[in-house]
Chain A
Amino acid sequence: MFKIRKENLNDLYAKISESMGLYIPIKKAGEVNYHVWGEGKEVSLETLKTVRSPKDAFFPQTENMMKFKTEGKNIDIIDVRDEKRPFVLFGVKACDYKAIEVLDKVFLMDPVDTYYKARRDAITIVTLACSKPEESCFCSVFGIDATAPCGDVTAWLDENYLYWQANTQKGEELTGKVSALFEKGGEEEVKSQQEQTKTILAKLPFATLDLSRFKPENLNELFNAPEWESLSEACLGCGTCTFVCPTCQCFDIRDFKTRDGVLRYRCWDSCMYSDFTLMAHGNSRTTQMQRYRQRFMHKLVYYPSQNDGLYSCVGCGRCVNKCPQRLNIVKVINTLGGKKND
Chain B
Amino acid sequence: MRDVEQKMIERAAALLQNGEVARVVGWKKGEFYFDPAPAVFETVDELKDFVYNGFCGANLSKYLIKVSKNEGKTAIFMKPCDSYSFNQLVKEHRVDREKIYVIAVECQGKLDIEKIKANGVTAVTNVEENGDKVTVSSLYGETVLDKADVMLGKCLTCKGKTHQAKDEDIILHEMPAPANNRFDEVAKLEAMTEDERFAFWKEQLQKCIRCNACRNVCPACSCLKCVFDNPSSGVAAKANDDRFEEQLFHVIRAFHVSGRCTDCGECSRVCPQNIPLHLLNRKFIKDIDGFYGEYQAGETAEGKTPLTSYKEEDLEVSDVFKGEGK
- List chain A positions with a Cβ less than 8 A from chain B: 28-31, 33, 48, 51-52, 61-62, 132-135, 200, 203-206, 230, 233-234, 236-240, 242-244, 252, 254, 265, 267-270, 273-275, 278, 320-322, 324-327, 330-331, 334
Residues of A within 8 A of B231 (CB): 275, 278
A205 and B238 form a contact (CB under 8 A):
no
B37 and A234 form a contact (CB under 8 A):
yes
> B274 interface residue, CB < 8 Å from A?
yes
- What CA separation (Å) do A165 and B31 show in the bound complex? 37
Using A51-B272, A238-B216 as known contacts, say yes or no to A230 and B39 having CB atoms under 8 A apart.
Answer: yes
A48 and B207 form a contact (CB under 8 A):
no
Using A51-B273, A61-B240, A237-B216 as known contacts, say yes or no to A28 and B207 having CB atoms under 8 A apart.
Answer: yes
Interface residues of B in 143-190 (CB under 8 A from A): none
Closest partner residue, chain B, to A29 (CB atom) = B203
Partner of A325, one of B32, B37, B236: B37
> B317 interface residue, CB < 8 Å from A?
no
Residues of B within 8 A of A135 (CB): 32, 122-125, 138-139
> B282 interface residue, CB < 8 Å from A?
no
Please tell me the number of chain B residues within 8 Å of chain A, measured between CB atoms. 47
Interface residues of B in 52-70 (CB under 8 A from A): 58, 63
Interface of A is mostly: loop
- List chain B positions with a Cβ less than 8 A from chain A: 30-32, 35-40, 58, 63, 114, 117, 122-125, 138-140, 203-204, 206-207, 209-213, 215-217, 225, 229-231, 236, 238-241, 269-270, 272-275
Using A135-B125, A254-B238 as known contacts, say yes or no to A200 and B39 having CB atoms under 8 A apart.
Answer: no
Using A204-B139, A267-B240 as known contacts, say yes or no to A239 and B125 having CB atoms under 8 A apart.
Answer: no
What are 15 inter-chain pairs, A to B, with CB distance below 8 A? A29-B206, A31-B273, A51-B272, A51-B273, A61-B209, A61-B240, A134-B124, A135-B123, A203-B139, A239-B211, A242-B211, A244-B209, A268-B240, A274-B225, A330-B31
Q: Whole-angstrom distance from the CB of A210 to the nearest CB of chain B? A: 14
A243 and B211 form a contact (CB under 8 A):
yes
Q: Whole-angstrom distance from the CB of A190 to the nearest CB of chain B? A: 20
A331 and B30 form a contact (CB under 8 A):
yes
B272 and A322 form a contact (CB under 8 A):
yes
Partner of A134, one of B38, B122, B203, B270: B122
Task: Given A135-B139, A238-B211, output 15 extra A-B contacts at Cβ < 8 Å.
Answer: A28-B206, A31-B207, A61-B239, A61-B240, A132-B140, A135-B122, A238-B270, A239-B212, A240-B213, A243-B272, A254-B238, A269-B238, A275-B230, A331-B37, A334-B31
